[in-house]
Structure 1
Amino acid sequence: MLVAAVGAALLVARPWEDVPPTMRPAVAPVEEHSVSVDFGIVTDPGTDWAAIDRHLDAVGATGVDLNAGRVEFTAFDWPAHPEVAAEPGTDHLSRAARALHETADGTAREIGLIVDAYVPEWIKADPSIAGVSADGRRSPYRASASELATGEVGDRLVEYVTDLGERYDPSRIAVTELFLNHYSFGDDDLALYREMTGADDWPRDADGQIDDDAPELGTWRSEVLAGLLARMRAGLDGVREGRGEQIELAMDVRVDWDDPAAGVPSSGHDYEILLGSADRLVVWAYVGPPDRTPADVERLTGALQTAGYDMSRFTMSVGLWAGSADADPPRAIAPGLMGETVEAAATHGITDVNVTPLSHLSDAHWAILGEVWSADPSSVSPSPSG
């Protein structure tokens, strides 16, 4: 009777069907062309994944990145923290991956996962974890440097990345929205700064005010984030009996358009320091009037190459937002501008180009993307995002 009961339970639950056959091809493509899918689309039960798959096939996309959510709001049932599931009982990541992991001709498509490091709900419940500005304001979204380095928030992020690697075996896991600019001046952060640098106090200007742009602050912030990434990397290395070493760990980074090869140390994004822990940096090559142009993006890739970086460790991410990402209704850059930027991103040795987010891709955007990525634009069907 017990055996029969267990067997019946397994037939109902069928847990082995929750996870796709693979998210990581045995052989990575020579050139990676990927599209990022918003968390809202990933978790929407009405998302037409077959239509999205047809779009990816039509433009020749070799990869797709699924937003897995935050440690406080996940796209699947996280056994360690079941209370944070967006829809208990539903694994949205597996549902998407099963639909997208293979192209129409049977080629395996790389599937990456995105982890958003913001913790707004956690901060509402416990303001002490928030980063603090020089004038005492608390960030509504970002944890403090000390929380990321030695606190529960950093531990939870490491746990989440590690558990995603164990459960899904994706091609890569990219951490986004991980910054330390402005909100890293709490008392706990000062104690961490003193411990890590040996300094007695924050760097200050001639008037005695904290110098938020001091080079030593940028180095310290970058080392804090690199330390967190190193812990994530170690966690991934241990999953799947060591096979997790093959899962790439990536981090989204900002660009200093005046000095493109330098990164943005004031945000904790010193490229050289971060590449000591991360396998890849996803560079926000975002344009849009009146900000940046495709020529600026090509200047960025050229500066990275001239600086001697290994260009295979960079992804150029072309953002489609026109103006604020929080605009309502959202606005996207023109399809032609997107196409020119995608072409500019694939210069000076860059072979990995991403377009984000899927929700901003209209029919015209898909058609242009098909032309740029040398697919057949006539095969593009109406956009699932409307």
Structure 2
Amino acid sequence: MEQAGPERDGVRARARRRRWPWLLTVVVTLGAAVGAAVLLARPWEDVPPTMRPAVVPAEGRSVSVDFGIVTDPGTDWAAIDRRLDAAGANGVDLNAGRVEFTAFDWPAHPEVAAEPGSDHLSRAARALQRTAGGTPREIGLIVDAYVPEWIKADPSIAGVSANGTRSPYRASASQLARGEVGDRLVEYVTALGERYDPSRIAVTELFLNFYSFGDDDLALYREMTGADDWPRDADGQIDDEDPGLGTWRSEVLAGLLARMRTGLDGVRDGQGAQIELAMDVRVDWDDPASGLPSSGHDYRILLRSADRLVVWTYVGAKARTPADVERLTGSLEAAGFDMSRFTMSVGLWAASADADPPLAISPERMAATLEAADTHGVVDVNVTPLSHLSAAHWATLDQVWGGAAPSGSAGRGG
């Protein structure tokens, strides 16, 4: 028989009290499981942080980070951040990889991710985006133009030398100008600009010396110059030093840069126009202001499309001296270049670049080269790569750069 109202309500209340501990246990257990899953996945680390500060430093002092360090899950970014703080570095450049091997999941080509499911660029930038004093750091990204795996799969895209040898790393001029490789490079630069909004994107390992003589390149050369054949010497051999050839190569690369610039201008509802497009360039130490047209690096032609040139002031590989570096900056200034559009990148590689472990120039030579690079109106200096910075190099860098990040200003142009 059904119980009376008050008594029945008491039974129900006791039943509810008996259920509450069980429900609470379930809720707590589920909450802990969800929380553990979130902590394990750490989704906030894959949300791109701010990379481009609103105020540009008057003087840029940056360090470039190798791709291997960027993508290593064991990299101690907090320790690197402390090193940068101690050195007064207000910028850092992260290697984003190649179109065939990326540091994050590229939605258009997810199969090329170095570690699927991990955004190494976001994690690095999150740790490095501010100095200890709270000032935003400029964070740039580096795109390596080499395509060795693509060439292995499809040798026809490779550049070809005058004797018919195919490059194991570089695409042909026609591929860069009209082919799938150039299209993919433009697509990658644009995707990086859209996703990360970095201070700048620099394209490295982009040159056309030696490997630009395939049949497809000859067709492109004829179309662009109106010539019937390659320039040749008195013996009928291709004249690789012909000035017209260097101009053509530079125009090919400038055309590729122009497409990248257009791509960046269109991202983030037009805000991508504020992202600098840079290109690494070689030096003709005998005639520094000319650039190196034989590699496609005529500075004046490239600066029509690029906002900035990152000059390889590498004194170890070719046994150059700090005096050579100061002569380089002086030549550029004397030639009338806008010096705010150059970054002097001091490479730490020693002459024996293939040594294991790799050899670096001495801290003293690095210091002298940095001081020489920071002359004749240069306002942006870089050290590369981070993997070659020993404790002694860091200590020297602290002394050269003063151990405090330069103050912000809108004075450095792009």
Q: TM-score normalized by structure 2?
A: 0.87
For residues 71-101 of structure 1, give each alpha carbon's deviation from its aligned partner in whole angstroms, at most 9, with x where no partner exists. Answer: 0000000010001000000000000000000
Matched-pair contact (CA < 8 Å) for 1:19–1:168: no
- 2:309 pairs, out of 271, 277, 281, with 281
CA shift, 1:18, in A, is: 1.7
| 1:261 partnered with 2:271 | no
Partner of 1:48 in structure 2?
Answer: 76
Q: One-letter code of the match for 1:169?
A: D
Instruction: Determine the C-alpha separation between the residues in 2 that align with 1:291 and 1:255.
Output: 13
Matched-pair contact (CA < 8 Å) for 2:45–2:119: no
CA shift, 1:16, in A, is: 6.1
| 1:112 partnered with 2:123 | no
Q: Which moved more, 1:299-308 or 1:367-376?
A: 367-376
CA shift, 1:21, in A, is: 3.0
Instruction: Determine the C-alpha separation between the residues in 1 that align with 2:250 and 2:138.
Output: 29
- 1:221 pairs, out of 249, 273, 279, with 249
- 2:239 pairs, out of 211, 227, 231, with 211
| 1:36 partnered with 2:64 | yes
- 1:361 pairs, out of 389, 398, 405, with 389
- 1:332 pairs, out of 360, 366, 371, with 360
Partner of 2:182 in structure 1?
Answer: 154
For residues 82-139 of structure 1, give each alpha carbon's deviation from its aligned partner in whole angstroms, at most 9, with x where no partner exists. Answer: 0100000000000000000000010000000000000000000000000000000000
Instruction: Determine the C-alpha separation between the residues in 2 that align with 1:175 and 1:189.
Output: 22
Q: One-letter code of the match for 2:394?
A: W
CA shift, 1:15, in A, is: 5.7
| 1:23 partnered with 2:51 | yes
Partner of 2:216 in structure 1?
Answer: 188
Partner of 2:351 in structure 1?
Answer: 323
Describe the SS at the equivalent of 1:285: strand
Matched-pair contact (CA < 8 Å) for 1:305–1:348: yes
CA shift, 1:149, in A, is: 0.2
Q: One-letter code of the match for 1:310?
A: D
Instruction: Determine the C-alpha separation between the residues in 1 that align with 2:218 and 2:318.
Output: 38
Describe the SS at the equivalent of 2:367: helix
- 1:142 pairs, out of 158, 170, 173, with 170
Partner of 1:3 in structure 2?
Answer: none
Instruction: Determine the C-alpha separation between the residues in 2 that align with 1:21 and 1:175.
Output: 22
Partner of 1:102 in structure 2?
Answer: 130
Q: Which moved more, 1:326-335 or 1:106-115?
A: 326-335
Describe the SS at the equivalent of 2:314: coil
| 1:88 partnered with 2:116 | yes
Q: One-letter code of the match for 2:109?
A: H
C-alpha RMSD of the superposition? 1.5
- Structure 1 residue runs of 5 or longer lacking an equivalent are 1-7, 377-386
| 1:306 partnered with 2:334 | yes
Partner of 2:159 in structure 1?
Answer: 131
Partner of 2:320 in structure 1?
Answer: 292
- 1:74 pairs, out of 93, 102, 116, with 102
Matched-pair contact (CA < 8 Å) for 1:283–1:316: yes
Instruction: Determine the C-alpha separation between the residues in 1 that align with 2:183 and 2:277.
Output: 16
CA shift, 1:328, in A, is: 2.2
Q: One-letter code of the match for 1:197?
A: T
- Structure 2 residue runs of 5 or longer lacking an equivalent are 1-33, 405-414
Matched-pair contact (CA < 8 Å) for 2:49–2:122: no
1:232-243 alignment runs, 5 A limit: 232-243=260-271
Aligned residues: 368
Partner of 1:346 in structure 2?
Answer: 374
Matched-pair contact (CA < 8 Å) for 2:45–2:126: no
Instruction: Determine the C-alpha separation between the residues in 2 that align with 1:20 and 1:120.
Output: 29
Partner of 1:173 in structure 2?
Answer: 201
Larger Rg: 2
Q: TM-score normalized by structure 1?
A: 0.93
Q: One-letter code of the match for 1:28?
A: V
Identity percentage over the alignment?
Answer: 84
CA shift, 1:290, in A, is: 6.3
For residues 268-309 of structure 1, give each alpha carbon's deviation from its aligned partner in whole angstroms, at most 9, with x where no partner exists. Answer: 000000000000000000102761010100000000000000
Instruction: Determine the C-alpha separation between the residues in 2 that align with 1:193 and 1:370.
Output: 49
Q: One-letter code of the match for 1:357?
A: P
Describe the SS at the equivalent of 2:337: coil
Describe the SS at the equivalent of 1:301: helix
Instruction: Determine the C-alpha separation between the residues in 2 that align with 1:290 and 1:205.
Output: 28
For residues 203-258 of structure 1, give each alpha carbon's deviation from its aligned partner in whole angstroms, at most 9, with x where no partner exists. Answer: 00000000011100000000000000000000000000000000000000000000
| 1:246 partnered with 2:274 | yes
Q: One-letter code of the match for 1:108?
A: P
